[in-house]
């Protein structure tokens, strides 16, 4: 696949008064042209630093960023500025110019890159139409809602026809309904304009709803990376399980028996897997936890079941093997998290 951005053994160390802080360590990542790539992690994991390294707002201290195959480290200041014009960026706090009206906010990046005023205004009007704010072009940011401000920020970010759009927690300051609208807009832009999108978030629902692939960041490193369906169906890392399962807590009452985590991909969720297993094995099954999500149009999820008795568990495992459903035996001890 043709990658638009590559990060090669990239690291970032901040030198602070209290010693060095390693924000990123050995990051290797290829972003494919045209995809929506998600980067998720808890706060402090280094994801914001990562996205800032991509447009060199932060300069990596190790390794480098390659944009369309060219390393950024060898470009001068002017070169970096030109590269940045190929990368739009939106932020959690929108960061609009408060003293300029909406139209002039969208004109701003065009002005910076030397587009004549008339052409800039024409382009800005088109973009405001695209984001559905044509009627507000004379308004100032203070007069807009959060969702409207983010729409303006998106229009501004794509004004110079960038190849890449970086979204740094772009929906984290918005309510769920507005979040959905903004995510839909980002998805539309990705589809219709062919702009590659990198999304930074701490919310799994953002990844689920728009991303093709995801990287999970923990302690400055990539813990896990892959297609969103695969990661959701079968997270390999501890942090992956934690992010996907959320706040599943152990139930102290249930510690006996064998616990199996059964994974459902899009296919198996249409089959009554559990009923069939109970009927064909003739064993009692206790459901401890279950969750399904709609990811990219297919239902994926997992379920944790408790089966008392080793023999019964063996039967169940054989049955699951025979129908090709993925499962893992899980430990469940008091005081530890479920998965």
Q: Which residues bind another protein (CB under 8 A)?
A: 55, 57, 80-85, 87-89, 91, 93, 95-101, 108-109, 111-113, 140-143, 153, 156, 160, 166
Contact 212, 35 (CB under 8 A): yes
Nearest-approach distance from CB 188 to another protein, in angstroms: 22
Nearest-approach distance from CB 207 to another protein, in angstroms: 23
**What is the spatial distance between Cα 16 and Cα 18, in angstroms, rounded to a whole number?**
5
Q: Which is nearer to another protein, 1 or 142 (CB)?
A: 142
Nearest-approach distance from CB 211 to another protein, in angstroms: 21
**What is the spatial distance between Cα 94 and Cα 75, in angstroms, rounded to a whole number?**
28
Contact 334, 250 (CB under 8 A): yes
Q: Which is nearer to another protein, 82 or 219 (CB)?
A: 82
| H helix intervals, the chain | 47-54, 77-84, 102-112, 117-130, 146-157, 176-193, 204-210, 228-233, 238-245, 273-281, 310-323
Q: Which is nearer to another protein, 91 or 232 (CB)?
A: 91
Closest Cα to residue 51, out of 218, 191, 187, 169? 169
What count of other Cβ atoms lies within 10 Å of the Cβ of residue 144?
18
* Residue 269 burial by Cβ neighbours in a 10 Å radius (0-12, 13-18, 19+): middle
Q: Which is nearer to another protein, 73 or 336 (CB)?
A: 73
**What is the spatial distance between Cα 25 and Cα 195, in angstroms, rounded to a whole number?**
28
Q: Which is nearer to another protein, 144 or 339 (CB)?
A: 144
Nearest-approach distance from CB 202 to another protein, in angstroms: 18
Strands 164-168 and 62-67, sheet pairing: unpaired
Nearest-approach distance from CB 142 to another protein, in angstroms: 5
Nearest-approach distance from CB 201 to another protein, in angstroms: 17
Q: Is the dihedral of CA 58, 61, 63, 64 positive or negative?
A: positive
Q: Which is nearer to another protein, 107 or 260 (CB)?
A: 107
Q: Which is nearer to another protein, 141 or 301 (CB)?
A: 141
Strands 213-218 and 36-41, sheet pairing: parallel
Contact 106, 124 (CB under 8 A): yes
Nearest-approach distance from CB 226 to another protein, in angstroms: 28
């Amino acid at each position: 696949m043709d990658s638009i951005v590559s990060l090669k053994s990239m690291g970032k160390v901040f030198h602070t008064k209290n010693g060095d802080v390693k924000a990123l360590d050995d990051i290797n990542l290829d972003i494919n042209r045209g995809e929506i790539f998600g980067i998720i992690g808890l706060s402090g994991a280094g994801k914001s630093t990562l996205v800032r390294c991509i447009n060199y707002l932060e300069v990596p201290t190790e390794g480098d960023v390659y944009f369309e195959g060219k390393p950024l480290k060898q470009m001068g200041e002017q070169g970096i500025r030109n590269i940045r014009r190929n990368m739009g960026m939106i932020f959690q706090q929108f960061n609009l110019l408060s003293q300029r009206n909406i139209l002039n906010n969208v004109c701003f990046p065009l002005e910076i890159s030397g587009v004549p005023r008339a052409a800039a205004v024409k382009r800005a009007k088109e973009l405001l139409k695209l984001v559905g704010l044509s009627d507000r072009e004379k308004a100032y940011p203070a007069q807009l809602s959060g969702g409207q401000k983010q729409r303006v920020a998106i229009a501004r970010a794509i004004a110079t026809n960038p190849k890449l759009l970086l979204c740094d927690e772009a929906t984290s300051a918005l309510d769920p309904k507005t979040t959905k609208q903004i995510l839909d807009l980002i998805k539309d832009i990705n589809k219709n304009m062919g702009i590659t999108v990198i999304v930074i978030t701490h919310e799994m629902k953002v990844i689920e709803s728009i991303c093709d692939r995801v990287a999970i960041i923990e302690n400055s490193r990539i813990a896990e990376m892959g297609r969103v369906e695969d990661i959701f169906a079968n997270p390999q890392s501890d942090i992956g399980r934690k992010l996907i399962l959320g706040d599943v807590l152990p139930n102290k009452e249930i510690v006996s028996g064998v616990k199996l985590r059964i994974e459902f991909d899009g296919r198996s969720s249409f089959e009554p897997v559990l009923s069939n297993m109970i009927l064909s094995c003739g064993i009692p099954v206790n459901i401890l936890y279950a969750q399904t999500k709609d990811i990219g149009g297919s239902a994926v999820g997992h379920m944790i079941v408790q089966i008392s008795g080793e023999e019964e568990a063996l039967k169940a495992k054989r049955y699951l093997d025979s129908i090709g459903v993925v499962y893992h035996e899980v430990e469940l001890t008091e005081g530890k998290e479920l998965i």
